[in-house]
Amino acid sequence: MDRLDRKILAALQRDARASLQEIGAAVGLSPSPCWARIKKMEEAGVIQGYTVRLDPLALGLGDTVLVMVTLDSHSDNTLEKFGEVLASIPEVVEAHLVSGDYDYLLRVVVKDTRDYERLLREKLYKIKGIRHSRSSFVLRTLKKADLPLGV
């Protein structure tokens, strides 16, 4: 990847719906070579897809909760089953295997504290193998940024 590729990626991060003409103009290329570079990055897996950013509040999902989880066991089977269960819970929008005091960091979106309590009772507390969990409600998001591309 060269500087032009990174400029194209920066333009796509800002607005994935931008036309080839707009992206090309932003990076100094005509649409055809711009399109070739985008296709090459898609095929290489650098560009994994195109999505829409949604406003959680507008959708009634007013609270974000960070949940730190420790498992009883770290066997391959336990980790695989835990991942499968998490994949089936739509409120869990991110799950990270982490180093440190906890095994996983989950990002969960819910309507409110009662909705989170329901999620705990009906789903999270029913997952076998959880030894301990700790929840922190996000009060305010101070930064949410695109990937740093060095352009």
Give the CATH architecture of domain 56-138. 2-Layer Sandwich (3.30)
Tens digit of pLDDT per residue, the chain (151 long)?
999 999 999 999 999 999 999 999 999 999 999 999 999 999 999 999 999 999 999 999 999 999 999 999 989 999 999 999 999 999 999 999 999 999 999 999 999 999 999 999 999 999 989 999 999 999 999 999 999 998 8
- H-run or E-run covering 7: helix 3-14
3-44: CATH number: 1.10.10.10
| Rg of the chain, C-alpha, whole Å | 20
Q: What's the predicted TM-score (pTM) here?
A: 0.87
The ranges assigned to domains in the chain are: 3-44, 56-138
- pLDDT score at 69: 97
- pLDDT score at 151: 84
